[in-house]
Amino acid sequence: MREIKGLIFDFDGTLADTMPLHWRAWQVVTAKYGFVFPEERFYALGGVPTMDIFTLLAQEQGKLGLDSLVLAKEKEAAYLPLLPQARRIERVVSIAEAAHGKLPMAVATGGVRHIIQRVLQQLAIDHLFAALVTSEDVVRQKPAPDIFLEAARRIGIPPENCRGYEDTELVLQGIRAAGMDVVDVRELLRASE
């Protein structure tokens, strides 16, 4: 049995109930540009940076002339007005609160720093985490393990002694590839119902 010395949390859909808000913003931009992006696929790609999803969709749907960075910024602009509706996922936040001051913790998210910091503060949980690693801090994005490895490095704990919390199967694979213990937040939430 491995000794857990640090905790690493995904953000959207793990600590914060923001995925429905992201979905609403995605609908605005995908409708504008004629993308087909079913809700089930959106949730399956949770954790993957917006720009990478737009690149994937553009390749698949023959919209190669579109700039994924511009589209990602439009999606962000559609999301920002919805931020006041973000809520904590109490079952997961309670784990972080219980570990605060006992284990170093980080947030590892495919989101962008200025938005994640804003929501962390809004939810009054920013003080719990020693590090915030975003899509801007690594070259290879989720589901690659890089963001989790960087989070472990920043809290000074070997990856094999970290536990990662995530809400999508695709990104759980990245946590496993980083050599960390994994917690599927979806199972945790079902068990607490």
Residue positions annotated with a catalytic role = 10
Residues 54 and 63: their CA atoms lie apart, in Å, by 10
User: Of 138, 150, 84, whose CA–CA distance to 111 is shortest?
Assistant: 138
Q: 193 exposed, middle or buried (CB, 10 Å; 0-12, 13-18, 19+)?
A: exposed
Q: Cα separation of 111 and 10, whole Å? A: 10
Is the Cβ–Cβ distance between 12 and 42 less than 8 Å?
no
Of 47, 34, 40, 42, give the one whose Cα is nearest residue 175: 47
Q: For Cα atoms 25, 192, 109, give the angle at the middle one, nearest 5 degrees.
A: 40
Residue 67's SS3 state is: coil
